[in-house]
A = this chain, B = another copy of it.
Amino acid sequence: MSAIADVARLAGVAKATASRALSGRGYVSEATRLRVVAAAREIGYVASPNAASLVTGRTKNVGVIIPFISRWFFSEVLESLEQALLAEGYDMTLYNLPAASAERDSVFEYFLARKRFDGVISVGVALSEAEVDRLHRLGRPLIGIGGPIRDVHTIAIDDVATARLATEHLLGLGHVDVVHVGGDPIDEMDFRVHSQRLSGFYSAMRDAGRSTDRCFYPCEFSMPGGYEVGLSVLGDPRTRPTAIFAASDEIAIGVIVAARELGIQVPAELSVIGIDGHPYADMFRLTTLEQHPRRQGRLAVSALLTELARPTDADARLEEDGYLTVLPTNLVIRSSTSGPHRPRS
């Protein structure tokens, strides 16, 4: 393939001049710039990013570590990251990080150690202390999405507050029997979303003077998970709640499917609220709190670019703008969430 030397020769300039003309760094007269660009175009020159990286240390590539790719929130974030990075001329290398395992270690020990990126965006991964240290030692900016990482600027929603909001919404409608269906705090591997959303729920309940006994049902964090628990929670008409706060829209939808299968009208007889702003919300008449994954992705990219542009004094940087950007969630009533159908208290 053609090298920059070919371009230089064709344009009648030195390699360095050609380099300056094409990269835009350094002074070049407009006339020669044009000549060089024309020459490059003529022979279809594309710079070797390897050679450039070798000398500059910059790769024009960003690494993204993410624990799932098919869950709605994650795939949305991923797509927005890819688009935002592409627009800035960055490649995106994806590292699907499983829970603690040999592959996970290999990502850190081998793949991330190669440092083929200018920065890293960590999406919804709860990193161990050792992993955070390792990442910091790479000497590359790191931005988080979805939960706090030590000394790292993170974009996230406030899970506790959001869960409170959702619960208060149901309480405000006059519901007495409100339960929470969510991920089990025992096996949460992402941030502590499971326990945070649970605790937001509990505190809203307590503040409203409600008992918190027997009103949390753990489930697998997915639509089938919500379905399964929905069947059992709603199975007995005598103990059936009138409102359910689900930790995610996917869980909520599972619950709704179960409810309908049991002959319960949703939303007429049962109010369900979720978190996410999932595109299926409409067809299931689901009320939800939008979590704006794409906006989180875009913000993460711009935060990363900002750090990339700055001098490398990490400490000063962090003191300056703090660690956390918290996005507000907003309630979207996809249907008329209703009050209790058969108040029982």
Contacts and interface: CB of A to CB of B under 8 A. Distances in A.
Nearest to A70: B75
A142 B106 CA distance: 27
Contact of A93 (B92, B103, B111, B282): B92
A51 interface: yes
Interface in A80-137: 82-83, 86-87, 89, 91-96, 103, 106-107, 110-111, 113-116
Contacts of A326: none
Contacts of A305: none
A93 to B, nearest CB: 5
Contacts of A79: 69-70, 96
Given A46-B113, A51-B54, A75-B75, A254 B283 contact: yes
Contacts of A110: 46, 89
Given A86-B103, A86-B107, A96-B83, A54 B50 contact: yes
Contacts of A70: 70, 72, 75-76, 79
Task: Count the copies.
Answer: 2
A113 B69 CA distance: 27
A97 B133 CA distance: 35
A255 to B, nearest CB: 11
A107 B87 CA distance: 10
A139 to B, nearest CB: 9
A272 B33 CA distance: 64
A284 interface: yes
Nearest to A224: B283
Contacts of A87: 103
A227 interface: yes
Contacts of A72: 70
B54 A223 contact: no
Nearest to A113: B46
Contacts of A227: 283
Nearest to A230: B283
Contacts of A223: 280, 283
Contacts of A206: none
Contacts of A83: 96, 103
Nearest to A63: B91
A93 B46 CA distance: 19
A82 B94 contact: yes
A280 to B, nearest CB: 6
Closest CB pairs A-B (n = 7): A70-B75, A46-B113, A227-B283, A82-B96, A50-B53, A50-B54, A50-B50
6 contacts: A50-B59, A69-B78, A69-B82, A87-B103, A227-B283, A257-B284
